[in-house]
Structure 1
Amino acid sequence: MIGTFNTIVEAVRFRATQTPDDTAFVYLTDGEDNENVLTYQQLHARASSIANRLAPVPKPASDPELLLLVYPQGLEFIEAFLGCLYSGTVAVPIAVPGKNRGAHKIDYLIQDAGLKTGLTTAKTFELLQKTFSHDAWFQSLTWLVTDTIPTAEPRDFPLPRPDDLALLQYTSGSTSQPKGVMVTHANILANSAFIRHAFQNDSSSVSVCWLPSFHDMGLIDGIIQPLYCGFKAVLLNPVHVVQRPLRWLRAFSKYGGTYGGAPNFIFDFCVDRSTPDERAGLDLSRVKHIYNAAEPIRASTMHRFAEAFEVSGFSPKSLFTCFGLAESTLAVTMCRVDRQPGLVTVDAEALTGGQLINRPAGTPGTRELVSSGWPMTDSVLRIVDPETGQECPEGEIGEIWTRGPSVTKGYWNQPNLTAEWFSGYTNTGEGPFLRTGDAGFFREDKGLFVTGRLKDLIIIRGANHYPQDIELTVEQSHEALARNAGAAFSVYTEAGEQLVVIHELKRVALPTAPVQDIAYAILREISLRHALAPVAVVLLRPNGVFKTTSGKVQRSACQRAFLENSLAEHYRWDSLHMNEKQP
């Protein structure tokens, strides 16, 4: 039963009343068999008890309190997040920092959002205190441990209004400093309705999600979509799945999972890190919709995954694609049950120049593109020349612009950036649009094709080059190179902008990899396929490429680390200094 709701708070209350004993969430603490289970009634009671501690006297919506949520993957995050929504406070989720990871981001968030209170679990607080007790950011916060709050009889809190702020979703910072996206309750409901409509989710669905809860995909789709539709969600820890990707698919098999999604890289991992016997032991026949939502989505990845898991009963028609970003709550376009992802094969060289020339599939010098679906009927999608504001003809590359009820209010405390990115108008005066900063083209019969980030474009001698094309060339140049583990970017030299490529070696290849041969193979393939000559080729140790929590390559961070000589280098061929750095 879907029901009619104005906020997700109403949805949870409704389910706690109508189906109190139904399972809302199952969290696999070890990624395999150990379960923590939460029913709708238990979730409602926990959220209400936490809300009572947060705001026994609710504050006006015009002056909400912002609360930092620092939680590991698990049910405690869901309880605390809903406790914030119940109490009218605004949740600001963030990853648990480690000794050498993430603390600078929390420090930035505290200053940017003016945060004064942090919520966490007792165990996490002990770890934070042990590591950061002398850090200014840790000392500046008043900490509330929520999993030790006694569960009390639920009380009724004033319902939030649809236009009230629900959370600040800080962007991953893949191309810039993180920004706090202001997401309202109405935004959440609109995007939840879009996702439900596209995939026809209902109370009989079962989702399996390993994406981080503090990330927009993990939160909006992994947690809120099940609450909105009233189906059971099985949750895993991202660390467990990255270690052994087949755990994700085993959960589908064990719990009868019908729905889920992940970035592009995990689909490759599932194929590369499984055996034929392991695949044959899975039952994926009940899967209706698994979506790939990385940017860009690789058509080869889709083909490999569908072929590899056909033996598991997986149907290629169950593999979908999406495009989205935090500034639009989550989803912008999605494939649907009745509209499968579209494929086109185009001339690769022409594509780098911003032109689309169709070629027969399998033609040398081509690139196969896969679409990311269509917008919801209550939203508008435009492909626009960012310099002139002129709408591009169908099939021509431009910047992707969107408007609709899922588009958020803008960036917290950033009026200039909000005006720049949320107030796009075409040269005919149509708007305002959210400018996504992504390049792509649209075909009504096949959907939206995302070709890359505008800011990531590499321009050398006046010619445009998409970094993901170069990265794929590098990856395929030698068997010792890891999948989805490279970055291409430009650096400024006396001769102008020049290309640099970095790529991780496979762990098993690290001790004996013929690094000089690998570097020369990379140089040769880039020259043949892109007519470019990198000034540096850097081979990295495993996990050396900077990525966001959702697996997107942070090219700007990689570029900074290269310039600062702080990459996890195993070998470097470098014409800038005319030397080779040996392992």
Structure 2
Amino acid sequence: MIPNQFRTLADALRYRAETQAFEAAYTFLNDGEAEGRTITYRDLDFQSRALAVMLRDWRIQRPLLVYPPGLDFIVSFFACIYARITPVPAGLAHIMRVGRSLTRLAAVARDADADAVLSVTRVIDRAFTDPDFMNRSQELGRMRWLATDRCDEALGACYQDALLPSDMPAFIQYTSGSTSIPKGVVVTHRNLLHNLSYCNEVEENGRDTISVSWLPHSHDMGLIEAILLPTFAGYRAYLMSPASFLRRPARWLEAITRFRATNSGGPNFAFDLCVEKISAEEQENLDLTSWRVAYNGSETIRSETLLRFRQRFERSGFRWNAFYPVYGLAESTLLVSSGHAADVPVVRELDAQALGRGIVAAPQHRTAKTISVVASGRTQSHTRIVIADPETLVKCGANEVGEIWIAGPSVANGYWQKPAETEAAFHAYFEDSQDGPFLRTGDLGFLSDGQLFVTGRIKDVINIRGFKHYPQDIEHTVSQSHAAILMSGCAAFAVDGDGTEQLAVVIEVLPKLSQDFDDWSDQAITAIQSAVTERHGIRIQSLALAPYGSIPKTTSGKLQRQLCRRWFIDGSLQTVRIWSHDGERA
């Protein structure tokens, strides 16, 4: 049951603490397997109240939440809500890697004007015993780092409820973009509760729902779908670290099997990784019959991925209609469109050349080059999608690709302290009708029979000789052309050559196949070049071979093409060999 009187996230936790006090809310799986700490709704409420008293005494307003995967982050987040302060979730993939996160953390702290860092004692101790910490990030070193795991739970009795207006910021969500200047989306309680209700509606959750997630808590999907939605709807959640999944993907499906999970998902690459990395022996004990909401979003959804996953795991009980292709973004809190219960994925085969001209058309003959696109479901709950020409700002025709614009109660107020960027992104109007305001997503797509099809990002599109090429399609072709390339192991982007855009591709090689890079003969490179030319009608101007793990990705595994492009151009990308039409260079 979800009362209609929820006005803020605090109301939801208080209600669960009153009606489901001794039910387990969250369990963290150590190493992705052994059950570690479990917290009930009663304990979560009480510990959050106690910490809220401390936060008020510390007189902070916008703390950066820097926690390793675990339950401490959840307590801290709800404590901020109770204390009427605005948390800024930040990523820390592993306690041993504080230093690797400093650049990103410092940029977020600076942009958010954060006045403290909340974390646990072991992270703070490690940070300040690192001799390079102060040198590498003096800004973070000068901030107050406060250990929340030393909170006296007796303070919970001193907590006094405070009325929270629904238009008050619930948190600031920093986008996982590739630029050095991050943007923080200000999500209000009204935005958040609408989106949680929307998620709950399309997933048809109940008290028998069980969630499993490996997604990072600093990612919008990991925070809202995997952490906040279980409390909002009152069901149990099991969590593991992203590293546990990435080291051994079978842990994810084993947890779904063991705990009879109904809801779990992630970006498209996660499903590819399961197909590629889970052995036949590991699969023997999998039982995925309980899995009914397999959400797939955050990056391009590939029909080949869905088909390969079904073919591999249907004998383990996975059902085709369990797939929930979704589309969302932080600027609209999270969810924009989604599949529904009992729906099967909708896939359309399009003429590749027509799509390159921005036209949606079925192939007219058998020899035509085609591209498969997967629908990201429909909208509901007062959410509206329109497709607009990003240059003329007029509505696109029924069979035209354009920018996806969104309106609805989940759309946030804007970016933190960025009025110009907020005006440009959140206040779009049609040039002719003045219909609006809409959120400009920067994503390209089209609507067909009420279904949203996402084709790519405006900034990632490669324009060569008047035709648009989507990088994810080129990357897919490259990954299929050589056994040493993972589905998520290459990045395609445009570089300038003689005043025109040209294609560059960076390829990671699997560790077991990268011991001798000389094995990559000219024949292998020629095969990749030929596949791209044949499939897409363009040639690769520069092809770089890089050690495994060199291509930048977000904490959730999302490819950062623009950052990779920048590193490639300025020479900071780690490469072993580079081929080009101007001659090979090391």
Q: TM-score, normalised by structure 2?
A: 0.95
Which of 144, 153, 156 matches 1:151? 153
| Structure 1 residue 143: Cα displacement | 1.5
| Structure 1 residue 344: Cα displacement | 0.5
- Pick which of 170-179 and 353-362 moved more: 353-362
Cα separation, partners in 2 of 1:363 and 1:204, compared to 1, 3 Å:
farther
Trace 1:7-406 onto structure 2 (pairs within 5 A).
7-56=8-57, 65-96=61-92, 98=97, 101-131=100-130, 132-134=133-135, 135-152=137-154, 153-154=156-157, 155-174=159-178, 177-359=181-363, 365-406=369-410
- Pick which of 361-370 and 69-78 moved more: 361-370
- Pick which of 497-506 and 297-306 moved more: 497-506
SS at match of 1:119: strand
Output the amino acid matched with 2:385.
L
2: CA distance between counterparts of 1:50 and 1:309?
A: 44
Report if aligned partners of 1:515, 1:571 keep a CA contact under 8 Å in 2: no
Match in the other structure for 1:519: 525
SS at match of 1:42: helix
1: CA distance between counterparts of 2:437 and 2:499?
A: 41
Match in the other structure for 1:553: 559
Q: Render the CA deviation track for 1:389-431: whole Å, top value 9, x for unaligned.
A: 2212233210000010100010001000000000011121111
Match in the other structure for 2:539: 533
Report if aligned partners of 1:481, 1:504 keep a CA contact under 8 Å in 2: yes
| Structure 1 residue 580: Cα displacement | 3.5
Match in the other structure for 1:421: 425
Is 1:451 aligned to 2:455, yes or no? Answer: yes
Is 1:438 aligned to 2:443, yes or no? Answer: yes
| Structure 1 residue 339: Cα displacement | 3.9
| Structure 1 residue 520: Cα displacement | 1.6
Output the amino acid matched with 1:237.
S
Q: TM-score, normalised by structure 1?
A: 0.95
| Structure 1 residue 149: Cα displacement | 0.6
Runs of 4+ in 1 over 4 A off after TM superposition: 360-364
Cα separation, partners in 2 of 1:363 and 1:45, compared to 1, 3 Å:
farther
2: CA distance between counterparts of 1:29 and 1:110?
A: 29
2: CA distance between counterparts of 1:494 and 1:514?
A: 28
- Structure 1, unpaired ranges of 5+: none
2: CA distance between counterparts of 1:404 and 1:44?
A: 31
Report if aligned partners of 1:279, 1:311 keep a CA contact under 8 Å in 2: no
Report if aligned partners of 1:459, 1:497 keep a CA contact under 8 Å in 2: yes
Output the amino acid matched with 2:24.
T
| Structure 1 residue 568: Cα displacement | 2.1
Cα separation, partners in 2 of 1:308 and 1:364, compared to 1, 3 Å:
farther
Is 1:572 aligned to 2:581, yes or no? Answer: no
Output the amino acid matched with 2:80.
C
2: CA distance between counterparts of 1:509 and 1:425?
A: 52
| Structure 1 residue 43: Cα displacement | 0.3
Report if aligned partners of 1:175, 1:455 keep a CA contact under 8 Å in 2: no
Report if aligned partners of 2:345, 2:374 keep a CA contact under 8 Å in 1: yes
Report if aligned partners of 1:285, 1:314 keep a CA contact under 8 Å in 2: yes
| Structure 1 residue 474: Cα displacement | 1.0
Cα separation, partners in 2 of 1:202 and 1:176, compared to 1, 3 Å:
farther
SS at match of 2:442: strand
Report if aligned partners of 1:361, 1:368 keep a CA contact under 8 Å in 2: no
Q: How many equivalent pairs are there?
A: 574
| Structure 1 residue 250: Cα displacement | 0.6
SS at match of 2:118: strand
- Pick which of 145-154 and 328-337 moved more: 145-154
SS at match of 2:554: coil
Report if aligned partners of 1:9, 1:159 keep a CA contact under 8 Å in 2: no
| Structure 1 residue 253: Cα displacement | 0.6
- C-alpha RMSD of matched pairs (Å): 1.8
1: CA distance between counterparts of 2:428 and 2:458?
A: 16
Report if aligned partners of 2:321, 2:345 keep a CA contact under 8 Å in 1: no
